[in-house]
Amino acid sequence: MAEYDEARATLSVKVVYYGPALSGKTTNLMRLHDILAPELKGELMTLDTRNDRTLFFDLLPVGFRAPSGLLLKFRLFTVPGQVAHDSTRKSVLSRADAVVFVADSQRNQSVNNGESFENLAHNATVVGLDFEQLPLVVQFNKRDLPDVLPEEEILARWGRAPWPVTFASALAGQGVVETFAALLARLYSSLDARHELAARHGLAREAFVSAACGGTVSCC
């Protein structure tokens, strides 16, 4: 859960990118790191596992301040997608405030996407997260590849879910910031309920999303 340090007036938030192996989780973070302004990001750090990797970086290591002076900092993580690393996925997912599920748009990856999403729901429960209340966005990545599922077909399967569905080509940087902004818009409600971002700190949702994205997108 978000860590609030009253003495230092700091709120630290954890975001996890989850999904099957090779769906583009790491590429999402790398492109975010490329796109965001230098003052809004820390250094990328990679933790290698056997045959896979998990990557994270501190986003807004200095942070942005709400009108009240509250400093908001974000930590973004990916999880290793291979089945063998389920214990690592649980560890990374623990105490997450929000999740981006990165699915592979290729038609032959539908089963892997479904199994990985079920794994996310299961592991969220195992580590004590309320999956039904967890701020979540589903991104269908790799839209630039051949033989991808049409957007209409994806929306027919996922459109009735309570989570927003976005489309991206993370390798080209398309849809990456927009996905992050969509997640922040959902995350704001839970943070505001617990920490009174609007009433106590003078930070509206639109300003929260814009500041975290460095002004690159408007609030969705």
List the pLDDT tens digit at each of the 220 positions of the chain: 799 999 999 999 999 999 999 999 989 998 988 887 776 677 777 776 666 667 676 554 546 889 999 999 998 999 887 776 888 899 999 999 999 999 999 999 999 999 999 999 999 999 999 999 999 999 999 999 999 999 999 999 988 899 999 999 999 999 999 999 999 999 999 999 999 999 999 999 999 999 988 776 655 5
What does the CA dihedral 33, 34, 37, 39 come to, rounded to 10 degrees? 50
- Non-local CB neighbours of 144 within 8 Å, separated by 6+ positions: 169, 171, 172, 174
The residue count for the chain: 220
* Token duo for residue 138: 């589903």
Cβ atoms 73, 61 nearer than 8 A:
yes
Domain residues of the chain, as ranges? 3-212
* Token duo for residue 154: 């994806």
Statement: 3-212 belongs to CATH 3.40.50.620: no
What's this model's pTM, rounded to 2 decimal places?
A: 0.92
* Token duo for residue 135: 């701020």
Which run of H or of E encompasses 4?
strand 3-5
Whole-number pLDDT of residue 50: 64
Whole-number pLDDT of residue 53: 66
What's the Cα-to-Cα distance from 138 to each of 42, 64, 81, 192, rounded to whole Å? 25, 26, 16, 22
